[in-house]
Structure 1
Amino acid sequence: MGTVRHILQKKGNKVIAIKPTCTVFEALEMMVEQNVGALLVMDGEKFVGIFTERDYARKVILKGKASRDTLVQEIMSEHPLTVTPDTTMEQCMALMTQKYIRHLPVMDKQQLVGLVSIGDIVKYMIEEQKCIIEDLEHYITGHV
């Protein structure tokens, strides 16, 4: 099975980030514009956390806070679980399943290099299975 590096090679290293001093409303606007469920929180070049739809639902709406008055740094998840480019898909799936998370920031030597989501992993696995099936069909029919 492949590694996070394989996903980043296909999808790229672009990360969608927001400053911790932005409002939750601004973060939500960015999430809608970019069609994503999570934003990495960057203080300059330093990765300081992640802001997800779950953070919004649990820490703003349910606590009666206002998204226009609440800062991302107040509700972001600090010190989220991270992976490296060499982390396997199986390890990512295990982490996501055990910890009930859908996004894993990718760190390489203390440097943020990307983000993988459960959707990225599922897409990769489907493509891998398709290749395996095609190879088996070619083997069975004798067409190499």
Structure 2
Amino acid sequence: MRIKDVIHAKASQDVVTISPEATVRELIALLAEHNVGALVVSDDGERVSGIVSERDVVRRLHADEAVLDSAVSQIMTADVRTCSGDDGVTDLMQTMTEHRIRHVPVVADGRLTGIISIGDVVKNRIGELEFERDQLDHYVHQT
């Protein structure tokens, strides 16, 4: 299975981005509004400058409440792991596990085309296992 297959199965393929200059307070509002765990940081909505997650906010907020008025660029991860729609889901699962990340931007020709979360991957895997179970059940009951 390819990442593009998982992306196409999502209810929405929209990717919410935020400017590096936006405040962490604005970031929190967008995370809540869109019910997502991370946003891609981008100046233009196409190039990936970074990624920022709920974890990033919580870790910084614990140390300093003033972070709410800081720029997103101050807490984002700038070294972003990305993937391509043609990459395999199994490889992505390994990357997410090894690097302890839950959200990976999907890019094509340097342009942001989607985002895939660990929840998307798990949902896809459950669907595959249910299909295999149903096929085996059908086979067993036919003989």
1:135 corresponds to 2:126 = no
* Runs of 4 or more consecutive aligned structure 1 residues displaced over 3 Å after TM superposition: none
How many residues get paired? 141
For residue 8 of structure 1, what is the aligned residue in structure 2?
7
Counterpart for residue 83 of structure 1: 83
Which stretch of the first structure deviates more once superposed, 9-18 or 101-110?
9-18
1: distance between equivalents of 2:31 and 2:130?
31
Are residue 123 (structure 1) and residue 123 (structure 2) matched?
A: yes
Letter in 2 for 1:79: D
For 1:81 and 1:89, locate their aligned partners in 2 and report how far apart those are by CA, in whole Å: 14
Question: Identity rate of aligned residues, in percent?
Answer: 35
Answer whether contact 2:61 2:68 (CA < 8 A) is retained.
no
Q: Secondary structure at the match of 1:15?
A: coil
Deviations 1:59-95 (A, max 9, x none): x224314243201011111131011111111111111
Q: With structure 2 as the length reference, what TM-score do the two structures score?
A: 0.92
When normalised by structure 1's length, the TM-score is: 0.91
Q: Return 5+ residue gaps in structure 1 as ranges.
A: none
Higher share in strand: 1
SS in 1 for 2:39: strand
How much does 1:57 deviate? 2.0
1:111 to 2:111 alignment: yes
Q: What is the RMSD computed on CA atoms of the aligned residues?
A: 1.4
- Secondary structure at the aligned position of 2:113 is classed as strand
